[in-house]
Amino acid sequence: MLHPVIVWFLPFRWGTNTYRGCEYNCVYCNARYTHEYLGLGTKEFSHKIIVKDNAAEALDKECSRPNWNKLKTVNLSTVTDPYQPAESEFKITRSVLEVFLKHHNALLLTTKSDLVLRDLDLVTEIGKTGFLNVVITLPTVDEGLRHKIEPNAPSVERRLKTIQQLHQAGIKTGVTAIPLLPLISDDAASVESLVKAVSEAGADYMIVDLLNFRGETRNRFMGFINANYPELRTEYERLYKADYCDKDYSKQVRKQVNALIKKAKLDNYELMFSYRKSVR
């Protein structure tokens, strides 16, 4: 159930997923390759969802190991959204949260969905007895663009209200504005609107990064560009000669956005690493 995540700049070293596949069908998703491990095609990623009905039992066993350190932060979820629509029916994520509460294990809970508010009781208790951040993914506040790139995901308004309610409940809440789309959602006006909305909703911190083309994302996203922004095709080919955006372009965007984040006091990144020394 738990798997190591060896990426030096991430604030966690372990991850877990309650589902395989994701109904949100985001055009920028680069996790589709994981369906190949199941003998399924990447095109089936958004409509053949594997439900881990024994997830809580498996996690409980792993967290009960004598050599497991409950101060090791686990990210739920690293590949698929733990609150995608299937969760309304199966409640696998809720059962997994009960295990995290039982063991008082450090947790990052990452989602696009307001369904996390259903479990505010558990989330609040986990936050009281151990380290917890809830992280909401919100790459744009342009609802028209959101609908194009995340066709089945909750609206911008619902996500902003979720951040607000988590903040009001005393939950440390971050926002990942990932990915920003070059020449589409990374201009000054778009980014200023995004930072302002996130700040007003009460988030504690905000992290940004640009689109990347790992896995099959290049072909999928370039199809999106051809259909919606054909005038940008040449520029995208220039910026994405490799899987990651041109280094100079990315550096300039990050510099501008991070300046806005700092001005809005959304740079409380130490909260992602604030392990409690004593856990009841």
CATH number at residue 32: 3.20.20.70
- Average pLDDT over all residues of the chain: 91
Determine contact, residues 93/56, Cβ cutoff 8 Å. Answer: no
**What was the pLDDT predicted at 79?**
84
Determine contact, residues 45/35, Cβ cutoff 8 Å. Answer: yes
Q: Which residues contact 135 (CB under 8 A, 6 or more apart)?
A: 108, 109, 110, 111, 173, 174, 175, 176
**What was the pLDDT predicted at 202?**
97
Q: What's the CA gap between 22 and 129, in Å, rounded?
A: 30
The pLDDT of 135-158, averaged and rounded, is 97
**What was the pLDDT predicted at 277?**
41
The pLDDT of 73-80, averaged and rounded, is 87
**What was the pLDDT predicted at 183?**
98
**What was the pLDDT predicted at 8?**
58
User: 3-state SS string over the chain?
Assistant: CCEECCCCCCCCCEEECCEECCCCCCCCCCCHHHHHHHCCCHHHCCCCCEECCCHHHHHHHHHCCCCCCCCCCEEECCCCCCCCCHHHHHCHHHHHHHHHHHHCCCEEEEECCHHHHHHHHHHHHHHHHCCEEEEEECCCCCHHHHHHHCCCCCCHHHHHHHHHHHHHCCCCEEEEEEEECCCCCCCHHHHHHHHHHHHHHCCCEEEEEECECCCCHHHHHHHHHHHHCHHHHHHHHHHCCCCECCHHHHHHHHHHHHHHHHHCCCECHHHHHCCCCCCC
**What was the pLDDT predicted at 274?**
52
Quick check: pTM over 0.75?
yes
Please check whether residue 122 lies inside any domain of the structure.
Answer: yes
Please check whether residue 278 lies inside any domain of the structure.
Answer: no
Of 205 and 50, the structure prediction assigns the larger pLDDT to 205
Please check whether residue 280 lies inside any domain of the structure.
Answer: no
Determine contact, residues 164/213, Cβ cutoff 8 Å. Answer: no
Model confidence band, residue 27 (pLDDT cutoffs 50, 70, 90) = very high
* Domain range enclosing 139: 3-273
In percent, the amount of the chain with pLDDT more than 70 equals 93
**Residue 192 pLDDT > 80, yes or no?**
yes
Structure confidence by residue, pLDDT tens digits, 195-219: 999 999 999 999 999 999 988 899 9
Structure confidence by residue, pLDDT tens digits, 122-138: 999 998 888 899 999 99
**What was the pLDDT predicted at 96?**
96
| Number of domains present in the structure of the chain | 1
Please check whether residue 174 lies inside any domain of the structure.
Answer: yes
Structure confidence by residue, pLDDT tens digits, 81-109: 999 999 999 999 999 999 999 999 899 99
Please check whether residue 279 lies inside any domain of the structure.
Answer: no
Model confidence band, residue 34 (pLDDT cutoffs 50, 70, 90) = confident
Structure confidence by residue, pLDDT tens digits, 102-122: 999 899 999 999 999 999 999
Of 189 and 35, the structure prediction assigns the larger pLDDT to 189
Amino acid at position 63, single letter: C
